[in-house]
Every structure is written in structure tokens, then in C-alpha cells.
Structure 1
């Protein structure tokens, strides 16, 4: 049996307004489970990659329903800890045309935020694993979760496990008194594959450039940033980012680029003219990258092409998670953009 990909993070209950309604208009919400790291696990499970999600859930009916939902989606949950007070929630109002989407968080004192050192047996978690994925949301949530993440990174290093991170910097999420620019560098130093851009490098990872001030994000600016990041974090081997062009809330252009510090490779540009749900777009990209690195590790062009195509399909799927198959992704990569019925 293939070794597993381990993801670690917070899963939340998503409550979304139906039919593009505003919060003030609706009397009902559609409920699904999601979150950056668990979204990666679900996507990988759809690609046939064995995956295990590690978190802490409340020991109540909602926590158990969440675990059952993940099991039904093919994700192993044997190493989930149960404790804490509640499952975090976020409310989503889906935008349309010139009105952007809105998110309201209700995640204070969540079960995941109450994790502490020793709650997860990382020796057991990593016993049959070859990849570990985390995001910058974890250290934003609580000191305890950050300490558990650091435990995981040290243990993954001792096992020789590849580590990936999506910086995913969101200033409004960071807890009071915690500074991303002080915490994140210590964690990135133990990471091999990174999703991040010029903004993340300057605001969070300690690389000083004038790129953000100029607002000129190009392949060349990304290459320069990649080189500086790799000097500062010698363990990092590949850095990936996306470029989203927003024509409207429903119409975006989408591409990805990857660099190993010597050159930049770019995916095709996709015109997503009718977005169903963009939440989880970056997570689906990360899952595509992991699949690519595991299946064709010497072909960066194929890796970024697969990842961006997978993410493009995610924008057509309602909910946080990408329910795409390998065949669907490869069909899109081959240029089948018409969306005709497959009789």
C-alpha cells in the first residue's frame, strides 16, 4: 500500500447563503464541512492518494458528524483528537458580478484552538506517511496549535518526510499579541514545498523587496522573490503561486507558476467565466501539486499544469472541497474546455 499524505489543521462548519442571497435576505443556510488542510485531503482522496487528516474535534454530535463526513469522502480520521468546546463556524455570502463574496468567522474557542503539546501522537501519525501538509492559518489560531504544529514539523523531519505549506496569510485571523513575521519563519525553515507570493515574502517571511510597493507582479518578480526566499530558507526546494485576474465575482482568469530558483514555468491561462464556488481554489491547487510531485517528480511543467487544471475544476464545484477525478483533470489539460455532455 502506498504511503499516506498527512494534513493537519482546523475543520469548520460552513454555513452558506443559497442562490447568491445576502445575509439579510436568507432564512436558511447550506451546511458543509471544510477548511484549508482538510480540503487538500479530500481532493487527494479523489485522486486515489491515501490520506489522513489530523485535527481536534468537539466530542459531540457535530464533531462526530464531521468525522463521518470525512470518512465518507475517503479520508482517514484515525488520529483525530476529541476535546475542546465547539466546532468553528464560518458564514459565507456568495457574491455575483460586481458584488464580492463575504465571510464572517465564528471560531473563537474552537476545539482545534484548544490543542496543546502532547495531544497528538506524531510517531503513530507518521509511521506510514511520506508527506505532511500545513498552512499559515494554524499558527494564527492559537499558541497551543502552533506548538503542536512545531512538534509535527520536528517529528516529520526526523522521519525524512516531505513537508509542504500554503502561507495563506490573512491578517484578520491572527490572534492578539502574535506576529506572523516572528512565528512563520521558524516554521517555514522546516518546510520543503511552499505556496506563497511576493506579498507573503515581504509581509511575513522577511524578504525585503519593492515589488509590493510597485504592485508589479510578473514572472520575473516571482523568480527574484523565489531566489531570495531560498537563500533565507535553504530547505525550500520549490515555490509556487497563482495569478488570479478578477473580471467579476463570476469571471476570473487563472494560472499558476512554479520555480526552483533558476527559472519560472507557467501553466496555461484558464478563463473561468461562470464560477460556481471559488472557496477552496488554493487548496485544490495544493492537492494537485502534491499529486504531481508524487507521480511525476521530475516534471515541474506537468506538475503545475495538473495543479492549475484541478483548481480550475474546483471553481465549478459547490462547497469547500474539490470532487474532481484524475480523468477529469487530464481531460481539461488536453484542451477539452467546452463542457459538453459526455454521452
Structure 2
């Protein structure tokens, strides 16, 4: 069984019920979520051995979070304890022409005050095949960025495959360093780069000519992103594979969804899904990352099957409330095979 390690922050998620605005809500639905934890849950659901690494405060909310991760089969033995608090994010789900909103309350969270040396990476990576992190973690603080770099370099030294989802979040880079200053050293350690249609531009200034993410009309030309993948590989030659998700936003409830994988000098484009009734798109990129890692570890050099699995898995995530993608391999493979009927399974 393959072992995947992920490192980052998990938060308490407080979402308004249905489509209520913050100003209307009198109660919130409480779950947990965070980029790297979401990937770990996906992979655990696909039968992989996972270990999620973070730092949690010693209180009952953090213990509830730990129990939730364990419930989904995620390994938690490498988590360290300390710090002040668990971060929180508030979610207002958009509808039709009104976009969703996220408000962060994660200052001074336990993982943002983590320091290099607090985690024994040699122990964590013992028997590991893969290490995954996102651009969210180094955005939290200088010490979190330094710890992430410590982990990535340890993984390189130990022969563990490293992936990073660039995951640019403009509202997080507040500690005096910009993403363009911090991310290059981290991405230099990566064998696999994951991004959405605008991450490469926001982080490295790399974009397809004439592309406007706000004016896709639901149609994103996959072929135009081959140049983005090539530019990323030229800048970061260790990265043999680059995957880019392509979201065409018609409105808050209706998106198109596809992706490309560039590997071995060939661009592999997935089928495009038309998602007409989105239940929850938060965690969609993370579910793609989980599906991609599963495919790369399982299907070897069959890159077409890998990208189809990743996109189908993340398409299904749009039907599930919460950050976590709670789908099975069988469900993903049925959708890959063309069964999107939604008929009752008896």
C-alpha cells in the first residue's frame, strides 16, 4: 500500500445554512477542512495509507478535529501539539450571479506559529512514497514557510516524490513576504506541480496569451495551457509533470470542469464536465489533487487515465457538502465510464 504524507493547516469551517448570507444566518454548520487535509481524506477514501501532519492546540475543538480525521481513515500520529488555537473560516455559499464568500479567522493559529525542528521529518517520511503541500501553508507565516521548505527538502533527500498545489490566496499573504519571494524555493523541490487556470499567473506571472478568467463563458480551451505547463517546467526543471484544472464559470451554481496533464512532452486533456447544480465547490481543487496523486501512483504512465480519474473525482466533489470528497473508486470509475445518470443504486 502506498503511503502519502501531507502537511498544512486544518480549520474549523462554519458555513451558513443553505444559501443564507452572513447577515441572515442565526446558526452555522460546523465541519473541518483545509487544503492538505482534504487531499489526505480523498486518498484515504481510495484505500491509500495517509498521514496528515500539522500542529494543533490542546483543546476540545482540536480533539474533535482529530476524531473527524480518524473517522475518515487519515493517519494522525505525526501531528504535534502546541500553540494557541485552531484556525476558523466562515463560508457564505453563493447562488447564481452572487459569488460565494470566505472570511478567514486564522491569525495566531497553532500551525502558523510552527517552527523548523518541531517535526522529525526523517521519522514522518519513513516508508513514505509521496509528500504533498499547497501554497496556502507558506502564506500563513515565515515560520510556516520555513517548516514547509524543511519538509520538502527532507523529502527530496529521502527520495520521496513531492507535489505542490500552488493554491494562491491573496488574502493570506500578510506577513511581509510575497508569494513571488517565497514560492520559488519550495516549487524547486517539486516533482509534480498542480495549479488552476490562474495560479501560475498570480504566483509566477505565467499565463496563456489573451486569457481572461472572468470571461470564459464556461468554455476554457485546454490546448492554450500547454504553454503554461512548458513555462513552469522550464522554470522548475525537477517538475516532470504539471497538472492544471480548468474551471469555466457560468454562474455560482453552474460550472464546466476539466483539466490537463503535461508529461513527457505530451499534453493530456480530460473530458469536460458540465456541472449544472453545484452543491459545494469548496475543496474541488483539493479533490482533484487527491485524484491526481492516486492516478499517478496507481496507473503508472497511463497519463490519460490519470487525468480522467482526477477530473471525475473532483467533478463528484461538487455534489458533496463540506471540504472533504467522500467518494469511492467505484463511483469515480463509473463516472469516467460515462455513467452520470445519478440513478439510485440498489
Q: Is this a same-fold pair by TM over 0.5?
A: yes
Structure-2 change in CA distance of 1:219 and 1:270 (3 Å): closer
| 1:219/1:264 contact within 8 Å kept | no
**Size of the alignment, in residue pairs?**
342
User: Hey, what does 2:267 align to over in structure 1?
Assistant: 264
- SS of equivalent residue, structure 2 residue 345: coil
Partner of 1:158: 157
Residue equivalent to 1:124? 123
**Residues 140, 19 of structure 1: alpha-carbon distance in 2 compared, 3 angstrom cutoff:** same
**Does residue 303 of structure 1 match 2:302?**
no
Distance 1:92 1:207 in 2: 30
SS of aligned partner of 1:129: coil
For 1:1-343, list aligned pairs within 5 A. Answer: 2-197=1-196, 199-205=198-204, 207=206, 210-211=209-210, 218-260=221-263, 262-343=265-346
RMSD: 1.7
Alpha-carbon distance between aligned partners in 2 of 1:101 and 1:54, rounded to the nearest angstrom = 29
Distance (Å, rounded) in 2 between the aligned partners of 1:247 and 1:220:
20
Shift of 1:197: 4.8
TM-score normalized by the length of structure 2: 0.95
Task: Give 1:207 deviation, angstroms.
Answer: 4.5
Q: Could you tell me how far 1:251 is from its partner in structure 2?
A: 1.2
Q: Flag the 1:63–1:164 CA change in 2: closer, same or farther, 3 A.
A: same
- Report how far residue 65 of structure 1 moved: 1.1
Alpha carbons of structure 1 residues 99 and 198: separation in structure 2 relative to 1, 3 Å: closer
How far did residue 53 of structure 1 move? 0.1
CA distance in 1, matches of 2:325, 2:197: 26
Give the unaligned 5+ runs of structure 2.
none
Q: Kindly state the Cα deviation for residue 220 of structure 1 after the two structures are TM-superposed.
A: 3.7
In 2, are the aligned partners of 1:223 and 1:262 still within 8 Å (CA)? no
Q: Aligned partners of 2:229, 2:270: CA distance in 1, in Å?
A: 17
Q: Which moved more, 1:202-211 or 1:132-141?
A: 202-211
Q: Which moved more, 1:131-140 or 1:193-202?
A: 193-202
Q: Deviations over 1:71-104 (max 9, x none)?
A: 1110000010111000000000111111111111
